Structure 1
Amino acid sequence: MKPSQLIPIIRRLDAMREDQSDEVQVRRFERDGKEQCIVRYDSKSNMFELEDRTSQQTYEFDNIDYVAVEILELVQPATSTED
């Protein structure tokens, strides 16, 4: 069984929330060396903002689980339907 890919994503998002500075925290997530999204966390509003670099759209989340799943969908390799 492969380990969960969500755990490292949630750890990075948690680190953003736990930062005590007043600055907006920024993390970049890549797949095969290509940036897939940028996530910003504003501690004043407790909101995550995800910028999808492939579609150039931005989404806001107030739930760490939802943003983690969205990141996972962007960074996980495409799976083949042939088995």
Structure 2
Amino acid sequence: MSIELCRRAVVSGKVQGVWFRASTQRRALQLGVTGWARNLPNGDVEVLMCGAEDAIAELEQWLHKGPPLARVRTLEVEEVALSDPQGFTTG
């Protein structure tokens, strides 16, 4: 699959310590999206999503809710320069 676009999302709320990054990774891999999810020092989670526009849109929708224990307060998304990350990692 070719990379159509990349977006960066910042998810805030109760999103650390609730399997948010691992669940995001699992969902991204199901959708064929590459990138990463990582915790930020302020308690937010940052997500880079690269792939097909429809797959990224579906992952964005999932990020609004996250895994069962998460409580997403806000989701900020911006388009970023294309990159071609290998797989989807957490950090």
TM > 0.5: no
Larger Rg: 1 or 2? 1
Normalized per residue, the structure richer in helix is 1
TM-score when scaled to structure 2? 0.26
Decide which structure has greater strand share: 2
TM-score (norm 1): 0.27
